Structure 1
C-alpha cells in the first residue's frame, strides 16, 4: 500500500492556522515588551521633596512648570543668558532644582530643565526652541545636562546655535573639539557611572580650552536630589557641599549677576 501525504484545501487551511497562531504569539510578545518598556521608562527616580520645596520657596527665583519643562528665572538682576538642562536617564526633572537654585540667583541665568520624552533624553527629538520659547528675553543659550542628558546636550550643541555646554557628571560622545563652544565639565571624584577615567577619556572630544572641575567626594547622584542610584560610588561630600561647589563653578564660568 502506498502512503499519500495529505494535501489540498484541508492541508492549506491547517498550515494557514499555524502561521496565524505564530503571528499572534509574536505580536503578543512584542506587545508585552513594549508595555514592560513603557512601565520601566515611566518609573523615574523621584526628586526628594524637601530639596525641591527649598527651591520652590526661595524668594530669589521664580519657578514655573510646563508640560515640557520646568523654568527657573532669577527675580533680580536677570542676565540675557539661559541654560537648557537635560536630566539624566529616568531622573525626575525636579530633582535638580535645589542644586541649581543658587547658581540661577547668583549668575542671573535662566535655567530650563527639560522633561524628556519617556524620561530618556535619547528619545527626545524636540528642537531646542521647544524649551527656549519659555524665556523669550534670553539671547544667549547654553545647553547641558546630567549623565545621559549631557551626552544628548552635546549632540544638540553640534546641530543648534548655542554658546556653550555645561556637564554635570557627563561627557560628549560626539566630537565638538573644533567648535568655539565654551564648555564647563563638573564631575565627581567618587562617581561610579561617569567615572573620572571616562571623563578624562572623552576630554579630547571637547575644545582645548574646556574647563574641568572635579568635586571631591561627589558621586553620580550628588548632582541631583533623588537618592541612591544603582552602580554608583559612595558620596562622602554632603548635598550642601556639592551644591556650593556647583554654584562656585558656574559663577566662575559665567560671572556673578552683578558683574
Structure 2
C-alpha cells in the first residue's frame, strides 16, 4: 500500500514538474517574441539632434535637452523594445522636455508598475513632471499616477486607458491620445473607463493614425490600416504633448 501511494505521489510530482516547465517555456517564448525598434528609431539613439543628449542610466533611457523646462517619465507598450520610442522622446526633448523611458522587465510594464519611483529625485532641477505610457505601459502608468497624483502635473495616455479612478481631489490633468484607425485598443473598455478620468481631461484623435505608430517598430499584429506615416503620427503626438505641457 505504502509503495503504491509513494509511486502515485512521484508520478503526480513528475506531472506537476512537467507542467511548470511547459508554462515557463511558453512564457519565455512569449516575452522573447517582442517588437524591435526599426533602424530609423535607432538613429535617434545613435545620432541625437543638436542640443539633446541620449544616455542609458540604470534601467532608463534619458533624452536630455540643454535647458529642460519639464520632465516626462514614459512606460513603453507591451512587448515593445524601449528604443522604438526614441523618435517621439527625442523630438519632445527638442521642445525642452526631458524624456525618460523606463525599460521594463521582459518588455512588460506589469512587472514594474512602480518603475517611475525615485526618478524625479535624480533630477532636482526639474519642477514639473509628467507621467505616461503607451498601451499596456499607459495602463500601468495610470496605476502609479493613482497613488502619486500630487507628484505630477499630468498623465499622458497613448492608446491607453485608466482602470483606476482619477477623479478624486486633487485631480491630475490627463491627456489621452489615440489614432482613428487603431485596431488593437479595445474601444468598448476605452469608452467605459473614460469615467475614471477628471471631467476636464483632453482627448486628441489623430486622424489616420494607428496603435503601433506611437512607437517605431513596424506594424503591430491586429492593428488597423493607417492612412498616415509613422513620422506624421509622431509629429502629431509631439505637437499634442507639447501643447499639453505648455498649459
Match of 2:221 in 1: 230
1:82 aligns with 2:75: no
Runs of 4+ in 1 over 6 A off after TM superposition: none
Q: Kindly state the Cα deviation for residue 69 of structure 1 after the two structures are TM-superposed.
A: 1.3
Match of 1:73 in 2: 64
Match of 1:138 in 2: 126
Q: Which runs of 5+ in 2 are unaligned?
A: none
Q: Kindly state the Cα deviation for residue 127 of structure 1 after the two structures are TM-superposed.
A: 5.0
Match of 1:3 in 2: none
Match of 1:205 in 2: 196
- Alpha-carbon distance in 1 for matches of 2:193, 2:18: 42
- Alpha-carbon distance in 2 for matches of 1:136, 1:203: 33
Preserved contact between residue 182 and residue 210 of structure 1 (Cα < 8 Å): yes
Q: Kindly state the Cα deviation for residue 163 of structure 1 after the two structures are TM-superposed.
A: 2.0
1:193 aligns with 2:184: yes
- Alpha-carbon distance in 1 for matches of 2:108, 2:197: 23
Match of 2:100 in 1: 112
Match of 1:16 in 2: 6
- CA distances 1:163-202 after superposition (whole Å, capped 9, x unpaired): 2100111111111023421111111000011255544332
Describe how 1:45-64 pairs up with structure 2 within 5 A: 45-57=35-47, 58-64=49-55
3-state SS of the aligned residue for 2:156?
strand
3-state SS of the aligned residue for 1:183?
strand
Aligned to 1:97, which of 86, 89, 111?
A: 86
Q: Kindly state the Cα deviation for residue 130 of structure 1 after the two structures are TM-superposed.
A: 4.1
3-state SS of the aligned residue for 1:236?
coil
Report the CA distance shift for 1:168/1:56 in structure 2 as closer, same or farther (over 3 A): farther
- Alpha-carbon distance in 1 for matches of 2:116, 2:139: 15
Report the CA distance shift for 1:48/1:98 in structure 2 as closer, same or farther (over 3 A): same
- Alpha-carbon distance in 1 for matches of 2:21, 2:123: 40
User: What is the alpha-carbon root mean square deviation over aligned residues?
Assistant: 1.9
Report the CA distance shift for 1:198/1:189 in structure 2 as closer, same or farther (over 3 A): farther
3-state SS of the aligned residue for 1:63?
strand
1:240 aligns with 2:228: no
Q: Kindly state the Cα deviation for residue 102 of structure 1 after the two structures are TM-superposed.
A: 1.6
- Alpha-carbon distance in 1 for matches of 2:41, 2:116: 27
Preserved contact between residue 86 and residue 153 of structure 1 (Cα < 8 Å): yes
Match of 2:212 in 1: 221
Preserved contact between residue 61 and residue 104 of structure 1 (Cα < 8 Å): yes
- What TM-score, normalized to structure 2? 0.91
- What TM-score, normalized to structure 1? 0.87
Report the CA distance shift for 1:145/1:125 in structure 2 as closer, same or farther (over 3 A): closer
Question: Comparing 86-95 with 199-208, which one deviates more in the overlay?
Answer: 199-208
Q: Kindly state the Cα deviation for residue 55 of structure 1 after the two structures are TM-superposed.
A: 4.8
- Alpha-carbon distance in 2 for matches of 1:134, 1:226: 30
Q: Kindly state the Cα deviation for residue 135 of structure 1 after the two structures are TM-superposed.
A: 3.0
